[in-house]
Amino acid sequence: MSRRSQHEISVLVPPNLVPLTAADPERVGPYLLIGRLGSGGTGTTYAGVHPTTQGDPLVAVKVLRSPLLESPEARAELNRRLTALAAVDGRVYVPPLAFDTAAAPPWLAMEYASGIPLAQFARQHGALGAGRLAALAAGLAEGLSALHVRRVPHGDLKPDNVLLGARGPRILDCALPGDDEHLRRSAAAWLSPERHAGAPPAPAADIFAWGAVMAFASTGRLPFGLGEPAELAARVAEADPDLDGVPEELLPLVRRALAKDPADRPSVRELLGSTIAAWEASGSASADGVKGTAVTLVLSREWQGVVEPVRLPRVIQLHDGRPRGRGRLPLIAGGGVLAAALLGGGVWAVANTLGDAVGEAEDQATATPSAAPTAEPGTAVVRFVPAEQPAPVEGPWVYTAVERAEATPEADGLLTPEDWSAQWTDAGEEREAVIAPDAEVLCAQFCVPGPGHIDGERGTYEVRGQDFIDYLDWGNVVIAEVEFAEADGGEGPREIVRITELFPAPPE
């Protein structure tokens, strides 16, 4: 993070960050919340920052919402568990950095871990190869070992709680006090027979979950198939798992981990030792002089080709300690390295026919009510919808000419981009445009650069065409006046050379 002024900070945020809703808190403990990362049966996870932290300040803040945590006894047990988890080695497991179990509601903050959930990776790429499986098996075993040495079982190990990052796997989350019934409904495929029978989290149950996760990673299939929780519980207790496709060197260990009787499963130490031994026996143990633990060696040799989602630059404005501007925002300064990475050295403008866009623009200017910003000849007021862009990275970029509705509701507080877009109606068919990476762009809302950046509903904050192109890959709907390059008389497309975003200034 870098501080741009005493009222602004900049931070790299995940591309899947969802804006906060009116019902979401703006601050939890010392953290300013800037978006939603996800939600589940036990609460909602937000992206948050601490304004005074140096380095990367991004954290995941989980707000816990469960009636089972309302009693003092449950809060005390939650505090004991989080205290123990906070002391766990964080190389594989992601422990809490801070928490408050007395808050209403209770919350915990963790390091933001970048990566792709194993469940998503398997859906996109299928089963993992043998070398990467060995690295995953060793990494997860080391993460469980770090938990068990502190006498803390995880209790909820499953593919959704395993992130695959550039440096190896990371284990997220854990079972919280009182959520056993929820887990039996939502994670039935990964719980051991004794957990389905009502037993609390325990190291042996984590070993079973490790075996189920490894079977899934090896085959791309759930080891006990699909079904309702009661059906899965019965299969877990009685049926043999589907292990067809598990590599031969891992098969005996995975089969033992999935034993019905906890006493027949290996310990976490045996799990780790046997995984490394199986990898060494495969003949892949050369690590080219890499020094470190056995897990470091297998990761350095086998963990290749996992590309983390690129985090996007965002400027956060502070006002009385609160963030303002909740959309996902491109960083205007200091983002050159990331912009170069996103560009990949390519040229973004792609040719496509615009037809008689200038003629439409002149009609548009005539039809626009006097209350709306008026387009000059040779320009058009258009709507860009990032979520509907067929080629948001390479282009061409789709737009629709719009005109301001005759009657528009007065804003009740700050408008959202969607509410602003609803005040404009389509005035033509959907078309495609070329946007020059060096086009002039005057930003009003999508980059939220600070006070005084809107003059009469017209943006005044200068950014580049490439910043706008990047925004069309992930941002909110934009209403803008666009100017086209002069036609050269050929049949090729005309490109947009200037963009002025239209958006009302916030109320004083």
Residues marked active site are found at: 156
List beta partners, residue 424.
404
Residue 35 CA to residue 64 CA, distance in Å, equals 16
Q: 308-336 burial string, b = 16+ CB within 10 Å, else e?
A: eeebbbbbbbbeeeebbbbbbbbbbeebe
Contact between 402 and 425 under an 8 Å Cβ cutoff? The reply is yes
Length of the chain: 508
Q: Which of 294, 279, 251, 244 is nearest to 131 (CA)?
A: 279
List beta partners, residue 44.
39, 63
Query: What amino acid is encoded at 214 in this protein?
Result: M
Cα→Cα distances 369→260, 261, 314, 417, 493, Å: 73, 75, 34, 20, 29
DSSP category for residue 150: T
Would you say the C-alpha torsion 254, 260, 266, 267 has a positive or negative sign?
positive
Peptide bond into 504 cis (omega under 30): no
User: To which residue do tokens 């039809």 refer?
Assistant: 367
Pair of tokens at residue 265: 């499963």
* DSSP secondary structure, 440-508, as one string: EEEESSSS---TT-EETTEE-EEEEHHHHHHHTTT---EEEEEEEPPP-SSSSPPEEEEEEEB-PPPP-
